[in-house]
Amino acid sequence: MKKLSAVLTILIVCILAVSLYKYKNPPAQESITFFPIDPKVNFLKAETILSPLNKPGNIILWTIRSTLDQKAYLRQDAGLLFSNGRLASKLSEWKQNTAVSIQDSQVSTEKSTLLQAITFHHAELHGKGKQISSSQAMSSDQLYVVHSNPIKTFRQPSSKDDEQWKKRLDSETERMLQLSWNKGIRHFSIPLKNYEALPLSQFHEKAKNTLPGFNNTETARIVGNLWEGLYKNYILGIKKTDGTIVSPLGSTIPLILLANDKTHLLVLTETGKGEPILLRQIILEAD
């Protein structure tokens, strides 16, 4: 009985120790959370690449790569790939205690298309004590894919034929997006004159330095909070007003609407079934 009692005591102590460890060191969860940017930590590499593969099926290789200058508690890259303005695929991988993230996916194109990929590269850093900070970057790429024999791809046109295809695919994509966004603007009665409109596909270039009317620190926070919201409310699934969650695949490129008074931004998109969706984020409190 004494031996049994001793064994039970040891088991209880072990269970309590494990529970205490988990309490003090909770497991990381798949998420993107913005924390203050650590200016001493930087991405050595952050890139998104679309490249054709020499194999049947008009296959395009979508690659996301990033390297931080040190190991991070949590590394996550979230990428979106749009085909003619609608979400065709997504990539999102997270790892602990690493500096490097590499993801790739083979995408089949069924018709001539404009592919646009954008990625948010994120690192969560845990310092001494309970200090948490982050590092972030964005990257993008686009590729025109023309179904011919053999398949033709280009980023910038180098011939009159390329120029015609670029004009055609740009026009088709822009027309569809404008119709979708205008429908959403009317549906939600958005006073467009009070906002600056930035499609997510152009957001990388616009936010590379600073967003209009914001400094570097404010821009970094807006970008980080935007992708935190996109990850939770778009990439993981679009939550509709009735509470149901639907896949973002087939949805339109989100339109980012920055309020002129700098208090908030709106994210406007449309599901694959044509339902307008609006997300709202607070930026700064009004004076």
Q: What is the pLDDT of residues 114-127, one digit of tens each?
A: 999 999 999 999 98
pLDDT > 70: percent of the chain:
87
Burial call 179-203: b when 16+ CB within 10 Å, e when fewer: ebbeebbeeeebeeeebeebbbbeb
pLDDT digits (tens, 9 = 90+) for 194-241: 999 999 998 888 888 888 888 999 999 999 999 999 999 999 999 888
Least reliable range by pLDDT among 24-38, 168-182, 261-275: 24-38
What is the rounded average pLDDT of the residues 8-29? 42
Alpha-helix residue ranges (DSSP H) falling in the chain: 2-24, 160-187, 200-206, 216-230
206 vs 245, more confident: 245
On the question of pLDDT at 284 being above 80, the answer is no
pLDDT digits (tens, 9 = 90+) for 27-82: 455 678 999 999 999 999 999 999 998 776 689 999 999 999 999 999 999 999 99
Q: Which domains does the chain have, with CATH numbers?
A: 43-154 (2.60.40), 179-282 (no CATH)
pLDDT digits (tens, 9 = 90+) for 95-153: 999 999 999 999 998 899 999 999 999 999 998 878 999 999 999 999 999 988 778 99
* Residue 29: predicted pLDDT: 52
Check: CB of residue 135 under 8 Å from CB of residue 38: yes
